[in-house]
Amino acid sequence: MRRILPSIFTSLLIILSFTLLIPQTHAAVLSGWGTATIDGVINPSEWAGADTLPFSVGPGPYTGTIYMMNDATNFYIAITVNGDTNLNFGDGVLIHFDNDNGGEATLEVGDDYIWHQDLSLFRDDFWMGASYAPDASFGGTTDGSSVASRVSSTNHFELSHPLDSTDDSHDFSLSTDQRVGFHIRVIVSSTGYDLFGGSPTNPSTWLHDYQVASAHVYSGQTTDSYGRVRTGFLTSESVYATGSGFPSGFGVDIYITEDLSWMNGMSPTDISSDGVNTVTTNGAGDFGPVLVWPATTTVGEYDIVIDVDQDNKYSLGIDHVNDPNHPGFSIVEYGSSSVAVGGFYAPVNSFAVLLPYLAIVGVIGIITTILVARKEI
């Protein structure tokens, strides 16, 4: 028995050691994909891909919503605050990070910290061991930006920070699927309120992580009215579209454009007879089939652009083109300039279409001539 007890004690120590090495997982994990324009206006369509978290804190109370998302380069955070009578120098947001998501009882030197206060002040700081200090004051750089504004009766704060800046000593370095713990304090009229409790300098008391997202896998294509995929249509046929994997319950704009090689930031121009079509996705993020170009259509090669954030701009990783570098679908005339193959239409030479029939007629003519000649003999 005496030999067994030390063994048990040793085993418990080993298990405890490994447990302490495992990154902390908090009560809630946020993750979203998108790109925001940091202008102090939280546009619902712009932040459609963000994960959200509502809050209520302080007297009144002050209520609002936290939005978080990332693209391939930046981490974006937006916060609305309701109940404040105005936006002034005493309002702001402070965001603390546990860079390695270790959930320790104290911050570690180099842990990241960004904040916005006094209407236009953005700070990128780091934990020195006893307090925070600006990165730029200790050989680092200020990475990110923020803007605040008053929208109707609500204060809007938008901030951005690189996922992996070159300032490794003072900023977090995050890649896809990695998590970072965070704590947010809202400042209203110079009074700070810790959202969801916890201490800003004690990550073990924090409740939330952010997990870096990857680009959404959207699918959109042209179809017939039954939802069957088509890449070729006749001018007498209507064009429909379906899509899947988009944000659920959101409106998206569907453009029919000339065939282009699409690059980030390009603005689509709809050339269909009924203009831009706006549809709302269902709970699974799907839509259609929806009519996007009624017959009679025009001969040519085209793309279908699905503008998820409805900003009349193609944003790589947010919006969808059914084929960014080749025609998404074609429209042709029926008859002398087209032929149907398995439900798809493509332009061909008119003589090539008639050639098999002419050959059959010719063979029949030869056989008939031979039979008539034999009877006469």
- Distance, CA of 118 to CA of 148 (rounded, Å): 9
Mean pLDDT along residues 338-366: 52
The pLDDT of 11-32, averaged and rounded, is 51
* Span 186-227, pLDDT tens digits: 999 999 999 998 999 999 999 999 999 887 778 899 999 999
Q: Which CATH number among 1.10.645.10, 3.20.20.70, 3.40.50.620, 2.60.40.1190 corresponds to the domain 22-211?
A: 2.60.40.1190
d(CA 366, CA 323): 50
Residue 326: the pLDDT is 84
Rounded to whole angstroms, what are the CA distances from 123 to 94, 144, 361? 9, 8, 84
Cβ contact 291:237 at 8 Å: no
State if pTM tops 0.95.
no
pLDDT(252) > 50 = yes
Paired tokens of 171? 């900023």
Whether the Cβ atoms of residue 61 and residue 75 lie closer than 8 Å to each other: no
* Confidence bin at 372 (pLDDT 50/70/90): low
Distance CA 92, CA 157 (A): 8
> Does residue 88 register a pLDDT over 80?
yes
CB 117 within 8 A of CB 92: yes
Listed range (56-60, 148-152, 233-237, 285-289) with the worst mean pLDDT = 56-60
* Residue 185 token pair: 């304090």
Q: Check pLDDT > 80 for residue 263.
A: yes
What are the φ/ψ torsions at residue 176 (nearest 5 degrees)? Answer: -50, 135
Distance CA 200, CA 107 (A): 9
Look at residue 342 in the predicted model and tell me its pLDDT.
Answer: 39
pLDDT at 315: 77
Please give the Cα distance from 352 to 246 (Å, whole number): 43
Separation of alpha carbons 377 and 365, rounded Å: 19
pLDDT of 153 higher than 50: yes
Higher-confidence residue of 374 and 164: namely 164
* pLDDT cut 90: percent of the chain above it: 63
Beta partners for 158?
Answer: 78, 147
Whether CATH 3.40.50.720 fits 219-346: no
Task: Check residue 62 and give its pLDDT.
Answer: 96
Contact yes or no for 109/98 (Cβ under 8 A): no
289 prior amide bond cis, ω within 30: yes
Mean residue pLDDT of the chain comes to 85
CB atoms under 10 Å from CB of 239, counted, come to 23
| Per-residue model confidence (pLDDT) at position 309 | 78
- What is the average per-residue pLDDT within 245-249? 85
Segment among 33-47, 284-298, 347-361 with least mean pLDDT: 347-361
Asked if 38 contacts 51 with a C-beta cutoff of 8 angstroms, the reply is no
| 60/77 Cα distance (integer angstroms) | 24
**Residue 220's CB: how many other CB atoms inside 10 A?**
24
- Quick one: pLDDT at residue 37? 94
* Residue 94, number of CB atoms within 10 A of its CB: 20
Distances (CA, A) of 35 to 149, 257, 268, 314: 19, 23, 18, 11
Q: What is the pLDDT of residues 25-43, one digit of tens each?
A: 455 889 888 899 999 999 9
